[in-house]
Every structure is written in C-alpha cells, then in structure tokens.
Structure 1
C-alpha cells in the first residue's frame, strides 16, 4: 500500500494489520551523458510500482528519499552530493519515525552505490532500536541474475540504462557515445575529484548494449527474489 494514498484514518487501520515499511532510497547524480540524473530514483520507484500489487497488502510503501551521498560522482554536473554522515542521520530519523508509528520491520530499498556504507550503519542503529532491517542494493544483491540479461554491468551501464529504458525510453539518449568503459582506479584509493579519472564520462560498463527488453527482463527476474528476501526477513522478525 502506498502511504501517500492513505489518510490518517486508513493509515491507522493499515498499521494495525501491517508491521513492515519499505523505504525507497535514491540519488540525483550524473549518469553518463545519456541517462537521466534521477536513474537511482527511477529504478527503485519502478520496483516498488511492480511490488505493490504483489505484496502491498503486507508492506507499507513509503515515499522515496531522493538525495544521497556520491563522493565519486560529485565532480560532475547534476550531482547533488549530501555528506554521508548527514544522509545517514536523516535516513535513520525517517526510519525511526516509522518505528514510532508501529512498524517493526524496515526494508531500505537502495538504488545508489554511494549510499551503501551509510545504510549499513543505519541498519545497525535501527536494529539496536528493536527493528528487523533488510537492506536491498538491487544491482549488487542480485548481480548473478542481472548478468544473465546485461552481462557488462556498471554505473549507468548496460544494466541501469536498460532498466531506465524499460521505464521510459525518453529518459535515455542513446546517441551520446555510450560505448564500453572500465574503471581502472583502485577501489581502496581516495583522492580529490577522483571520479573524473574513474568515470571520465560519468559512467562505466557497456551502456551502448542496453535495451528496454533487457530492462524488462531484469525487473521480471528480480521481483520474486526481492519478495523472497522480504519473506525471509519476516521469519527473523520478533
């Protein structure tokens, strides 16, 4: 059930029957010269749209959190970078407010890599407050399935670009030189503006191979796996 469709009365009734909230979390940032700045919002939103008819009677679908942390892509136009500690504190307070409203289980459905470290700490803090927390980083957790349809994954690469094309082809401009780019900067190295070296055009992977059909295949393949993970969370919930 979408929270924004409820009023105070219907929310009170729903919260008496349901103890799980799913919070979509994204980012506004550069996704190459070709893909929407809101890619990391659009994809979680689309997963929620498809999940709602399947498990919406058991899960409260919260409004999304659109801003996050992006050290790597911060140097590029269109990236709205929030410090990791600020972002993490905000997500924690949002989720904690849902605990006060009767939610016991929290699903942090993340669409952006730069959020991962902060969300790991958030999940631990929420657990200390009594919640059972499932964090889903869809492109990481289900990569073994994704590569069946988009073999060269990456930031705004074949997988993400395909997922956006499946939502709306108008959000992607495939004319803008979307070839294959591999990150060569060591993952354990940090330096100022390193994203310009790691991602010379603000993307990685084989974006030029993306299609809407591949995106549709990814959504279809991942939905049952996401539901299975949520159902597993319920087995551990107190």
Structure 2
C-alpha cells in the first residue's frame, strides 16, 4: 500500500495506519458544466486523483478521505446539469467530516480543492472550524502552485475553466473526462459587467458564467496536451508536498 485512501481500506488497516498518520486530506470538487468538451464531474474527479497522488507523496503520514463531489456553483446554474451547494451546506459537510476525523485522533486537515468557486467558502471554513473544533485546518487549490509551468506554457489572457490548463490536467489524470473531438476555445463575450467584477478588480461581485462565456469555458482547450498536464500536476504535487512537510513539521525521511 502506497497511499492510505480510506475508501479502499478496512477498519483494521485504518487502525494500523494510525501508528504513522498525522493528518488527513479531504478532496473537494464540484458538479457543474465544463463546456462542450468535459464531463460535469470534472472537478470532483480531479480533486480525488490529485488527493491520491498527494497521499502517495505524503505516505505514510496522511489519510485521503472520500471526496466531497459537489461545491458552490451558483454561477454555473443556467447550464443544464449543474448541481450547487449553498456555502453553509458545504461548511456543514466539512464540519461533520472533520469532527469524525478528530474523533479518530486526526487533528490536522488539508482541504484540497479543485473548484475556484469553493475558495471563499473554504477560507471561512478554515477560520471558523479551526476554532470551533480545536483542529488545524488548511486549504489549497490542487494545481495553483504550478506557477512556473503555467507561466511558461499557458498563453491565453483569460483561462481557468475547461481551458488548456484544466483539460491538460484531465488528459493526464482522468482522460475519460475529455471529449477530444469536441474541444473548443472559450466563446468570450466582449461586453458585459463581468469585466468589472472579475477577481482582482477593485470592485467584485456575483455574475452568471454565461455573461462571460457563451459555451461555458474560457481559455483555449485546443492547446491542451497530456504532456502539459503531467508537467503542471507533478510541479504542483512537488510544491504541495514540500510545503506540507514544512507546515506540519513532518520528517519526510522517517518510515521511508
């Protein structure tokens, strides 16, 4: 066994793993439209795959929990099939999961998120549940730390949803998510209030995704590749594991 994934273990195996495990990774995704060329389970599947790979990097110190496969996605609701949670619903799910993990002795948690729409909710969850449950809760985006590869190879001025980055990650981690014969560039709307409300602007606010892109994606998925996905994912995993060993004060040479 090279990863303590709770979904694949018996309780006896879990009990044995507690001799070395010090924290848990909770993968968090979403169920929402991803344009004409990606399955709506994309974020949940990529979160799960990344969590398992990170669990391998952190073995034998980490549990990987079941995936929270829905998230905060109201901005995608006008595309058929999207299922969205309220922010307080997601926090309630995480509260129950973390309380259960704490009962088993796990007091440090990483929320590994693959959906940008969850980030503000996870910020609140980290702050409130850390105090409420007396545990240490951290959160991270799955591949946001792959800054070198993304900066070098992603050329679209606007990207981040069913784009060359995300499709590449899927081609490496879960190619079944991608419809290769239907890849499209984002159909970006030149006019609209979304330009004034985007993250990073002085004033931010809610807008529906179709106000920005008519086909539900941004960036240029036609430029995606397995090789780019591999480079992004592996750089992110290296950075995440390095930072986790440092933040959690784990000696990575022990048990290896």
Q: Given the two structures, how large is their TM-score scaled by the length of structure 1? A: 0.89
Q: What residue number does 1:216 align with?
A: 230
Structure 1 segment 50-199 matched on structure 2, within 5 A: 50-128=53-131, 129-152=133-156, 153-176=159-182, 178-182=184-188, 185=194, 186-187=197-198, 188-191=204-207, 194-199=208-213
Separation in 2, partners of 1:57, 1:198: 44
3-state DSSP of counterpart to 1:56? coil
State the partner residue of 2:24. Answer: 21
- What residue number does 2:253 align with? none
Alignment of 1:217-232 (within 5 A): 217-232=231-246
Cα RMSD of the aligned pairs, angstroms, is 2.1
**Contact 2:46/2:174 (<8 A) preserved:** no
Instruction: Return 5+ residue gaps in structure 1 as ranges.
Output: none
CA apart distance, 1:214: 0.9
Q: 1:83 to 1:65 in 2, by over 3 A?
A: same
Q: Deviations over 1:54-102 (max 9, x none)?
A: 3221101111110111021111112111111111221122112211210
| Structure 2, unaligned runs of 5 or more | 199-203, 251-256
Where does residue 205 of structure 1 map in the other structure? Answer: 219
Aligned equivalents of 1:142, 1:71: Cα separation in 2: 27
Maintained 8 Å contact 1:139/1:146: no
Give the structure-2-normalised TM-score: 0.83
Corresponding residue to 2:12 among 9, 23, 26: 9
1:141 and 1:218 mapped to 2: Cα distance?
A: 9
